[in-house]
Structure 1
Amino acid sequence: MRCLLLSEHPVQVLFFASFSEKMVKKNSRVSVHSMLTAVSSQPVGSGKTHPLSVLDHAMGLHTVHVVFYYKRNPFGIFDVDPLRIALSEVLCLYPQVTGRLTRGESGNWLVKCNDAGVRVLRAKVEATMDEWLRSADGSEEKDLTFWEEIPEEPSTWSPFRIQVNEFEGGGVAFGLSCTHMNADPTSITILFKSWIESHRQEPIEHPPLFSSTTLHHQQVPNSSIKSDNYYATKGNAETPSVKMVTATFKFSDSAIKKWLDEVHVQCAKATPFELLAALFWTRVAHLKAPKNDNKHSLSICLDFRRLVQPPISLGYFGNALHFSLLTLDEEEMDYGKLGHVVELVHRHISDVGEEEIWSVVDWFESQKEEGGKYAEPFRMYGPELTCVSMEHMIIGHKSLMFSASFKSDEKPVHVSCHVGNVRGEGLIVVLPSVEEGLARTVMVTLPEEEMPKLCEDQAIHCLQPTMLIGGR
C-alpha cells in the first residue's frame, strides 16, 4: 500500500492512496475512496501503556458503531486544515485512542501508546440523506462505519476508525467504530463531541479520564447479589448464530408524554426509557415461541458513571456498563397490563445500587486465571433480550449526543448506535432524539423473521413512530 506524508503543516497525517478489495463492499451504496491516518499534534511519551480494565476485557466479543448525521455538510470538504488540525489536537488528549493493542506479561490486553494514529476514511453515498434514512436497512447503515476484525497480531491494526460519508445533494454522516474492549457508546460520543469542541475552539466539556483505578473501590464484596449468578449463567450460555436485522423507531415528545400519562396510575415516576423498554419487551415477547417455563427475561444495561458515589466523570474512557436481569411470567407480560410492566421495570432499575455494581466488578475480578490473566470474554448482549439505556446522556434539557454541533444551528439530525456480534433474542437501544423533551429513538435488533411483525405491531403504532433505517 503506497502512502504519502502531508507535511505542509505541523500536524502530520498519513494519506493512503490505494485500498485492499475488502474495504469496498459489493453492491453497497457506500463507496470508500480514500483513507487517512490522523495522529496527535504532540507525541506521547515513550513507553507509555494503558491496561484495559476487567470490564473492558468482558466486552471482548463486541464492537461499537455510532453514526452522527448532519443534514448539511458543515465544512464542505472533510480534509480542510481547521478540521484536520482540530482532530489532531484533540487526539493529544487521547493517547489510548491513537495507540495499538498488545498483550501484557499476564496475557491481558493493554494499549501501547505509540502515536500510531486513528484510521480516517472518506466515502461517498449514492443517495440523498432523506432517501438513505427512508430506504437503508440496519446492515447497510453499518457501511457508514468501517470495520475489520482484530487480527492475531494487532500491533499495526487500528482499533478506532472514523468514516466521513458525504451524501448526494449535501449532508454528511460521521461513523465512529471501535472494539467494545476499548470504549463504550458514552466514550465514543464524548470523543466525537470533544473533536467538535476543539474545532470550534471551545473548552473540552468532558476531558477524558483514563485512570486504571477508577473501577477500584473499598466496599466489601457481597457474593449474594443476584447479578453474580446472572453473569455466571450468561457465561455458560450457548447462542446459535442467526441473521439479525435492525429497525429504527422515532417517538415524539407528545406521544411519550401521552403514554406516560396513560401509565401514571401504575407508575407515577416512569421515565421514557422505562416506558419504551416495557413496551418493546412485551411486544417482542409476543413474537417469540412459547417457553417451557412461561418466563420472559430482559437484560437491562445501564451506564453506571452516575450511579456510584462519588460519580465517575462522563469523560471516563472505557466501559462502565452494568447488566442485570428482570424475569416475569407470562401473565405479567400481558399487554393489557403495560403499566404494571412499566412499574416492574422502574422498580428493578431503582434497585440497582452501588453494592450490586461493585459486586459484579468483583465477580469478574474473581474469574482471573492463575497468573492474573482475565477469563475469556463471553457474549454480554445475549442470549436473552437486552435493552440499553442512554438516558444518562441527557443532562437537564440537553442531550450530549445532539450537542455535537459544528455550528450553533447545525446539530445532528439523527444519531444511531449499533453493537456488533449480537446474538440470542435481540437488542433494544433507547437513545435521545433530535427533538427536545421526552422524544426518544429506539433501535431494535431481532432475528430476521421476527422484524416484519414488530414493524407492523399495532401497540407500537399507537405511539405513532416515524420509521427510519430498516423500519419500512
Structure 2
Amino acid sequence: MSSKKGRVTVHSKLTVVPSKQIRPGTTHPLSTLDHAMGLHTLHIIFYYRENLFHSFDLDPLRESLSEVISLYPPVTGRLTRVDNGNWEVKCNDAGVRVIRARVEVTLDEWLRSADGSEERDLTMLEEMPHNPNMWSPFQIQINEFEGGGVAIGLSCSHMHADTTSATLLFKSWTENRRKKPIEHPPFFNPQQALCGRPIPNTHTKSLKYHATMSKASVTTSTATFKFSNSVIQQCLTEVHEDCPNATPFDLLAALFWARVARLKGPKNDSEHSLSICIDFRMQLQLPFGYFGNALHFSVLSLKGGEIGRATLGQVVKLVHGHVLGIEEEEFWTTIDWFESQKGEGGKFAQPFRMYGPELTCISLEHMAVPSGVAGCPATSSLIYASAFDKNNKPVHVSYNVGNVEGEGLIVVMPSSEEGLSRTVMVTLPEKELAELCEDQAIMRLEPTMLLSGKS
C-alpha cells in the first residue's frame, strides 16, 4: 500500500468569475442564523468514477461554472463589515477560487485506505484573514486520481451557506453543464425570510441547546458506514412494533447514539444527550433554493442508565417523536433568541460552536426524494443527482463540518443506492471511533466501510 503521507498534491490555482456582471453596489446582508455559524466551515466532496474534465481541460469547466455563479452573487462576492460590525457580502463579482490537484492512488484505493483527516486534503479552504476583502469564501478543488477518477471538493464559510444551499449550488453547476434547467434556483431574502419577530418568544424547549454551549478539545477521527437498502428495510421491520412510522434517520440516529453512549460509559444520574440538527425549509415553506442557513438544533436527553436498558426500538421511538414534535414556533423562537443577544447598535453576539458540545447528529433526510416525485422511479437523492452527464453520477459524497469540538458528530444522509440505503459519517475521539468500528450491533448490519483508514 502506498504511504498516506502527502498523497494529494496541489499544482495550480485560478479564479473563475461570473459570466454576467451584477449591478454595482449590490450587497447581501447575512441573516441571524448565518452569523450564528461564524465559527464553522463546510466541506462537501463529490467522488466520480470518471474524470469528465479530460485531464484538466478547464475551458468547459470555467464556462459552465462561470454561468452558474452568475446566479449566485453572494458566492462570488467578498465579506465586509457594516457600520454596526455585522457581516454582509459585497457582491463585486470577485469570483470563486478553483484549485487543481493530483492524488497518487486510484479512487478505489483512496476510499479504502484514506481517513477523515486525509480526506480534508481534498477540500482545502484558506483560513479567513483578519481583513477578508480579498478572501474567496467559496473554493472548489478538483482532484484527479490515478486511473481516471475525480473528486470535486466544495468548501465555504458556513456563514454563507448550509448543507442544502451548498449542495444545490453544486447540483446547479452540473445541471448547467448538461444544458438542463436549474431545478432549484437560489432564493435570496435573508432579512425578510428569517428575522426576529416584533414580539419575540425566547422561552421554548429548543433553547436548551444554545444555553448550554461549552468548549472542549480532543483529537478526533472520522469513519464512514454505508448501509444497504435491504438492511435498512429489515431493521425498520424489526422496530416496527415500537415505531411503525420510523424513518431511516430515526433508526440510524438511535443506533449510533445508543452505541456511542455505551462507549462513553455510564453516567449514573447525569444524562446522555443527542443534539439533532434538521433543515426547516419545508416546515417554514421557504423555497427549497433558499440560500443561507436554515438549520435548527434541539436536544434529546436520557438518563445514563436509561439508554443502556432501552431496546433499539424504544430509542428509535424517542428520536422519531422528538423530531416529529418540533413545532414551527421552535424555529422562530431560536431566531428570536439570537436576535435578543444583539448588543449596542444591533451588533450580533460573538458566535459559538453550534456543533457540540453534545454529541450532534445532522439529518439530511430532506435530501431524499420519495417515489413519484419529480419523475423519480424510486426513492432517490438530490445529493446523487449532481451528475455532469447522465452516465456519471457520484459514487460517494462526503459532508464535513470544520471546527467541530465536543463529544462528536454524526451525519446521516442518503446513499448512492436508491431506496432506503443510507450513509453515516461519524466523527469521534480516536479511541471511541476505533471501538465503534468494531461494535457488533453495528457490524451485524454489514456496512461497507469507507474512509476509515483501513485497507
Q: Distance in 2 between matches of 1:102 and 1:201?
A: 34
User: 1:83 — aligned with what?
Assistant: 61
What is the distance in 2 between the residues matched to 1:331 and 1:218?
41
Distance 1:384 1:229 in 2: 11
User: Displacement of 1:222 after TM fit?
Assistant: 3.2
Corresponding position: 1:111 with 2:73: no
- 1:28-43 mapped onto 2 (5 Å cutoff): 28-43=6-21
- Take 1:268 and 1:392, find their aligned partners in 2: how far apart are those partners? 19
- Does 2:170 correspond to 1:192? yes
Specify the alignment match of 1:262 in structure 2.
238
| Aligned match for 1:222, one of 194, 201, 205 | 201
Counterpart in the other structure of 1:208 = 186
Are residues 1:287 and 2:263 paired?
yes
Q: How does 1:38-437 map to 2 (within 5 A)?
A: 38-212=16-190, 213-216=192-195, 221-234=200-213, 237=214, 239-291=215-267, 293-308=269-284, 311-334=285-308, 337-396=311-370, 397-437=379-419
Contact 1:118 1:158 in 2 (8 A): yes
Q: Secondary structure at the match of 2:258?
A: helix
Contact 2:268 2:305 in 1 (8 A): no
**Contact 2:12-2:100 at 8 Å conserved across structures:** yes
Partner of 1:4: none
Q: Could you list the runs of 5+ residues in structure 1 that have no partner in the other structure?
A: 1-25
* Contact 1:65-1:417 within 8 A present in 2 as well: yes
Which amino acid is the alignment partner of residue 307 of structure 2? M
Tell me if structure 1 keeps the 8 A contact 2:196–2:339: no
> Does the Cα contact within 8 Å between 2:207 and 2:334 map onto a contact in 1?
yes
Give deviations 1:394-418, integer Å, cap 9, x for gaps: 1222311000111112100000000
TM-score, normalised relative to structure 2: 0.95
Q: 1:332·1:340 contact (CA, 8 Å) conserved in 2? A: no
Identity fraction in percent: 64
Name the SS of the counterpart of 2:424 in structure 1.
strand
The letter of the residue matching 1:28 is G
TM-score, scaled relative to structure 1: 0.91
Amino acid of the structure 2 residue aligned with 1:313: P
What's the offset of the Cα at 1:307? Answer: 1.4
Q: Residues of 2 paired with 1:104 and 1:291: CA distance? A: 46
* CA distance 1:68–1:269, shift in 2 (3 Å): same
What secondary structure does 2:105 align onto? coil
Give the structure 1 partner of residue 374 of structure 2. Answer: none
RMSD: 1.4
Alignment CA distance shift 1:40-1:410 (3 Å) = same
Measured against aligned partners, the alpha-carbon deviations of 1:31-74 in whole angstroms (never above 9, x if no partner) come to 01011100001111111111100100101111100000001112
- Name the amino acid aligned to 2:451: I
Kindly provide the amino acid, as one letter, of the partner of residue 274 in structure 1: D
Contact kept, 8 Å, 1:208 with 1:316, in 2: the verdict is yes
Report if the CA contact (8 A) 1:30-1:125 is conserved. yes
Deviation at 1:326, TM superposition (A): 0.3
Quick check: 2:267–2:303 contact (8 Å CA) kept in 1? no
CA shift at 1:228, angstroms?
Answer: 2.0
Is the CA contact (8 Å cut-off) linking 2:100 and 2:143 kept in structure 1? yes
- Residue 458 (structure 1) aligns with: 440
Secondary structure at the aligned position of 1:333 is classed as: helix
User: Which range is displaced more, 68-77 or 48-57?
Assistant: 68-77
The one-letter amino acid of 1:33's match is H
Deviation at 1:448, TM superposition (A): 1.2
Report the CA distance between 1:256 and its aligned residue: 0.4
CA contact (8 A) 2:195 2:336 kept: no
